[in-house]
Amino acid sequence: MTAAAPVAPLSVARPAPALAAVRLAKSFGGLKAVTDLSFELPKGGLHGLIGPNGAGKTTVFNLLTGVYKPDAGAVHVGGQPMTGKKPSEIAQAGLVRTFQNIRLFGDLSVLDNVRIAAGVRARSGLWRSLLRTPLYLREEAEIRARARQLLDVLGIAHRADEIAKSLPYGDQRRLEIARALATRPTVLLLDEPVAGMNTVEKKAMRGLIQSLRAQFDVSILLIEHDMGLVMDICEQITVIDHGVTIARGAPASIQSNPAVIEAYLGVPDEPAPTAGEIGA
Amino acid sequence: MTKFVQLLLQTLTLGSLYALIALGYTLVYGILRFINFAHSDVVTFGAWIAFAIAGALGWASTGSPVFAMPVVMVLAMAASAALGFTIERLAYRPLRKAPRLNVLITAIGVSLLLQNAGQLQALFGKDPVKMPRLLSEAPLFKLAGVQVPWVDVVLVVLTIALVIALQWLVFRTKLGQAMRAVSWSEQTAALMGVPVDKVVSITFMIGSALAAAGGVLYGLKYRQLNQTADALWMLLGLKAFVAAVVGGIGNVRGAVLGAVLIAFIEVFGAGYVSSKMPDLFVFGVLIVMLLFRPAGLLGTPTVEKV
Amino acid sequence: MSARATPGVAGAALRSLYPIVIGFTLAYLMQTVVAVSIDDYYSKVLIDIGIAIVLGVSLGIVNGYAGQFSLGHAGFMAIGGYTAAAIVYYGSIKLFGTKAIYGGSLGPGELLLCAGCVAGGALAAVAGWLVGQPSLRLRGDYLAIVTLGFGEIIRVLIKQTDDVVLSEKKVAAASWWSLMDNLGGGFGFIGGPRYIDAKNPFWVWLFVVVVCLVAYRLKYSNRGRQLLAVRENEIAAEAMGIKTTKAKVSAFMTSAFFAGIGGGLYAHELGNSMRPADLGFQKSIDIVIIVVLGGMGSISGAVIAAIAVTLLPELFRSFAEYRMIAYALALIIVMLLRPQGLLGLQELWEVEWRAVGRSIVTAPARLVRWVVTAPTRARAALKAAADRRQEDRS
């Protein structure tokens, strides 16, 4: 087996949340992209992060995954401080994402895309790989098996040998999720997983996201424009606008929150998000 | 003191030369975010075509008229601008949307093509030549015991004039505005009605004309023109590129600053530290710069969008 | 847990090393059967092909797999070559008391050659690590420029060394350390024993097998896939937990190691001159051509291209003059028409020949269609341009 993700020293009183952001802030030049953002994602939770276009949602993902360094604040994964670490270190700690603008390893096969992710914690280095030692062979077999299994779960096993960039759009999104799950994450960040999908595809994806939690023992944070989906499946929703948290709560309370309605409808230029809108 | 003034003068002339070449790298990089590998070969072309033009106009021997230098210079710049336009149109434009690696390899291909085609007997041939004396040999004036020849003064003054003209073009004209818009975002600029292809073409032509000016002045100063595939030309281009990077690639003022700095390090390093390997100092600076301030002295760090 | 604890130690060892046995056999056959039965000229061409394969396949590791473009391969080659040459020449004198070839096949002299090549490779790998530190953190085209500068620096440094390669008597008196400066300067390293010639191609073929084996096993391993991931999408690779900088540096070092070995072999081939001028930018480009034409990430592609690039100038004498022009055009055309190179990532045996055949068969028809529709497309383009001008005016 590959090494397990580092486990947080659990306090007896309250288990550490799977993911916690503490007063995160980031500005680009004069623009404050994110201001004083805090939230906690409990183990096994499924939370949503929504906001109008340009509200800073993807910036939040970039802060959490270490692509940007926050100006202030901290990120904890499973109770471990992650601030200032490289994206690869944060991913190894268990926080893995998908991308809004799909970033697959385009020229490689579907299977290889997932195999790469399944092998990130493999112990065989260059020498073992070149000598094909028993450990290496065992790890390769495990990686292959895990990749196959994930392709099965995501329903794209029949496309294993195709080139990733040649997949239809919906399957590319599935492959991104398969790839992320292959790294054995504790927290999965999904950046607009149903963007550009039709109703049927959306429905399938909704079922899939819900089933992932139990099946892979993973907590999920979701950015989505599709209100229907977010309201349906998320337990808690954080709404940000211009980088500021304007509301937080259960879907029902968000739907009736005047601040949220104003953020979406208040500015005449910005149309309210409708089902199926593709995020810019 | 005499040595110091002499080195200072060398720094100024060499720095001017580097600046003219570095501007071409920086302009193209600023707009298309790619290193025009073939730029140093346009410099070479400029120098050689000037030699050919001077020969064709009968100014190869001494005693050429006063207007010989400007005429040769302008014609060489025009020819190089045409070359730059052609390169961009045929080799780079089809790859505008391609991955960077492909554009880089194409640029290397273009560079090799220019180097080796230039050595064909039908073009410039395989042997080094001497650039005709288009400027007076006599020193213009004396400074602290150092004779300052015409060519040095022309080199420095012309460079300053060209840099000022370029600054004016980029920041004060409609074309410059379009260039800056394309540099900010090609797509947005296109949507706003900026004729992107045209702007890119003009940028290449300007950069190539400046490169030719550098090449001609190089020829007038050092006289010896090595064959086009000689490593010397590549090294000249490489150092100018280092200057552009050190100053902050994509930044016009940075290119000039970097050029003077690199020339200073090279000249004074050779003069006071070790005359054997001035190039090593230059590349040392490049590596230190890349390590500690990859955006260059005047550049702003860019963040790749995720 | 480890191989030692399980009963199949011998099996595991065999599985991991059997290609080396095959390599030895192949190299031995090349030496004892092929080299003696063909003309010396052809044997020499074969050796040149072998060295080109070592260089091309090794560059493919960093360029093809990791997608990092290096223009300094000749620099690594020079480091390896000069190291090996110095070790073999001065070592022969110190150890065997002669600068001539010493011992027969696999004799002490040849083992010194092998050690020299490996040491040269190791030093080249260290240099690769040094160069990789600053540049691999940056964007790809910087790497190209920095490696280009690096290659030039190596050339300049070697040129600065003392141009006297010491004679046998002097070497005996000199210390190892002081010999490091006597590398022949601008004249090149002359006078060393040339262990590799038309009748002795053994080491070249052994290292050809080794480099191909390493490249192959790397490509189809987890580590190799990580390199490909870096090449395909560095941001995604990092986000999945791959330490991209480390991966790139290790690819760079592996590549430099075999470039160094290639340099060591080159230095000891009869008839090659070992001058700084021969190991400059042009040499780097020769190797780049092999990788780009063959396919970025394809071992068999690099092998085919190495053969082609070595054979063409031999087949067409007049080709030599236009060689670089042809290469330049080839680079541009390949980038415009088939940017991934001849085979791309695929190996020869993975190609779907049916599809290739179909596309070749239909090529004339497509060409005709392209020519026939050219006026229509030109008209459309002109009209679009006119429309745009119209819009601009209004």
Q: Are residues C324 and C368 in the same domain?
A: no
Q: Are residues C375 and C345 in the same domain?
A: no
Contact A77, A219 (CB under 8 A): no
Interface of B with C in 190-249 (CB under 8 A): 193, 195, 229, 231, 234-235, 238, 241-242, 245
Q: Are strands B139-143 and B146-149 parallel, antiparallel or unpaired?
A: antiparallel
A106-136 pLDDT, tens digit per residue, is 999 999 999 999 999 999 889 999 999 999 9
Residue C15 with chain A: CB contacts under 8 Å: 132
Residue C133 with chain B: CB contacts under 8 Å: 291
Q: Are residues C106 and C209 in the same domain?
A: yes
Q: Does A98 touch chain B (CB under 8 A)?
A: no
Gyration radius of chain C's alpha carbons: 24
Q: Are residues C332 and C228 in the same domain?
A: yes
Let me know if residue C379 belongs to a domain: yes
Please, which pLDDT band fits residue A3 given cuts at 50, 70 and 90?
A: very low
CB-CB neighbours of C13 under 10 Å: 13
Say which amino acid occupies A210: Q
Quote the domain boundaries for residue C367: 352-394
Q: Is ipTM over 0.90?
A: no
Q: Are residues C245 and C364 in the same domain?
A: no
Residue B184 with chain A: CB contacts under 8 Å: none
Inter-CA distances, B61 with B70, B135, B225, C278, Å: 17, 12, 16, 36
Burial zone of B300 (CB within 10 Å; 0-12 exposed, 13-18 middle, 19+ buried): exposed
CA distance A109 to A113: 6
Minimum distance, in Å, between the CA of residue C34 and any CA atom of chain A = 29
Minimum distance, in Å, between the CA of residue B117 and any CA atom of chain C = 6
Which one of B300, B304, B305, B306 makes the best mutation probe of the A interface by having the most chain A beta carbons within 10 Å?
B306
Residue B306 with chain A: CB contacts under 8 Å: 58, 62, 67, 99
Residue A120 with chain C: CB contacts under 8 Å: 226, 240-242
CB-CB neighbours of A155 under 10 Å: 13
Q: Which residue in chain B is spatially nearest to A69 when comparing CA positions?
A: B303
CB-CB neighbours of A218 under 10 Å: 21
B29-52 pLDDT, tens digit per residue, is 888 888 898 999 999 999 999 999
Contact C124, C262 (CB under 8 A): no
Q: Which residue in chain C is spatially nearest to B107 when comparing CA positions?
A: C332
Sorted by sequence, the CB contacts under 8 Å of residue B261 that are 6+ apart come out as B15, B243, B246, B247, B285, B297
Q: What is the mean pLDDT of residues A54-77?
A: 90
Please, which pLDDT band fits residue B65 given cuts at 50, 70 and 90?
A: confident
Contact C229, C237 (CB under 8 A): yes
C142-160 pLDDT, tens digit per residue, is 788 888 888 888 888 888 8
Q: In a 3-state reduction of DSSP, which class is residue C242?
A: coil
Q: What is the total residue count of chain C?
A: 394
Inter-CA distances, C215 with A138, B99, C229, Å: 21, 24, 16
Q: Does C233 touch chain A (CB under 8 A)?
A: yes
Let me know if residue C374 belongs to a domain: yes
Q: Does A22 touch chain B (CB under 8 A)?
A: no
This model's pTM is above 0.90: no
Is the predicted pLDDT of residue A270 greater than 50, yes or no? no
Residue B245 with chain C: CB contacts under 8 Å: 142, 145
Residue B303 with chain A: CB contacts under 8 Å: 28, 68
Report how many helices (DSSP H) and strands (DSSP E) chain B contains, helices first: 11, 4
Q: Does C244 touch chain A (CB under 8 A)?
A: yes
Q: Are residues C301 and C386 in the same domain?
A: no
Q: What is the mean pLDDT of residues B127-137?
A: 83
Let me know if residue C109 belongs to a domain: yes
The maximal CA–CA distance of chain B, rounded, in angstroms, is 63
Sorted by sequence, the CB contacts under 8 Å of residue A225 that are 6+ apart come out as A50, A192, A195, A273, A277, A278, A279
Distance between start and end Cα atoms, chain C: 78
Name which of C152, C282, C332 is nearest B106 (Cβ-Cβ).
Answer: C332
Let me know if residue C118 belongs to a domain: yes
Q: Which residue in chain B is spatially nearest to A101 when comparing CA positions?
A: B306
Q: Are residues C125 and C185 in the same domain?
A: yes
CATH code of the domain covering residue C123: 1.10.3470
Inter-CA distances, B284 with A124, B266, B273, B290, Å: 36, 11, 14, 10
Minimum distance, in Å, between the CA of residue A263 and any CA atom of chain C = 31
Q: In the prediction, which pLDDT does B305 show?
A: 54
Please, which pLDDT band fits residue B69 given cuts at 50, 70 and 90?
A: confident
Please, which pLDDT band fits residue B126 given cuts at 50, 70 and 90?
A: confident
C78-136 pLDDT, tens digit per residue, is 999 999 999 998 888 888 888 888 877 788 888 999 999 999 999 999 999 988 887 77
Q: What is the mean pLDDT of residues A69-89?
A: 92
Please, which pLDDT band fits residue C307 given cuts at 50, 70 and 90?
A: very high
How many domains, chain C?
2
Minimum distance, in Å, between the CA of residue B292 and any CA atom of chain C = 9
Q: Are residues C206 and C78 in the same domain?
A: yes
Q: Are residues C287 and C337 in the same domain?
A: yes
Q: Does C344 touch chain A (CB under 8 A)?
A: yes
CA distance A182 to C365: 46
Q: What is the mean pLDDT of residues C4-33?
A: 82
C185-243 pLDDT, tens digit per residue, is 878 888 788 888 888 899 999 999 999 999 999 999 999 999 999 999 999 999 999 99
Q: In the prediction, which pLDDT does C13 show?
A: 86
Is the predicted pLDDT of residue C312 greater than 80, yes or no? yes
CA distance B87 to B107: 9
For residue B202 the two structure tokens come to 């003009």
Q: In the prediction, which pLDDT does C91 show?
A: 87
Minimum distance, in Å, between the CA of residue B255 and any CA atom of chain A = 24
CA distance A242 to A181: 31
Q: Are residues C73 and C108 in the same domain?
A: yes
Q: Does C232 touch chain A (CB under 8 A)?
A: yes
Please, which pLDDT band fits residue C66 given cuts at 50, 70 and 90?
A: very high
Gyration radius of chain A's alpha carbons: 19
Contact C222, A139 (CB under 8 A): yes
Q: Are residues C201 and C104 in the same domain?
A: yes
Minimum distance, in Å, between the CA of residue A58 and any CA atom of chain C = 14
Using the beta-carbon criterion (under 8 Å), do B106 and C336 form an inter-chain contact? yes
Please, which pLDDT band fits residue A31 given cuts at 50, 70 and 90?
A: confident
Let me know if residue C1 belongs to a domain: no
Closest by CA to C93, choosing from C19, C167, C24, is C167
Sorted by sequence, the CB contacts under 8 Å of residue C298 that are 6+ apart come out as C60, C64, C341, C342, C343, C344, C345, C346, C347, C348
Q: Are residues C198 and C238 in the same domain?
A: yes
Let me know if residue C5 belongs to a domain: no
The partner residues of A249 in beta bridges, in order of sequence, read: A237
Helix, strand, coil shares of chain A as percentages rounded to 5?
40, 20, 40
Please, which pLDDT band fits residue A184 given cuts at 50, 70 and 90?
A: very high
Let me know if residue C285 belongs to a domain: yes
Ramachandran class of A39: left when φ > 0, alpha when ψ lies in -120 to 50, beta otherwise: beta
Let me know if residue C6 belongs to a domain: no
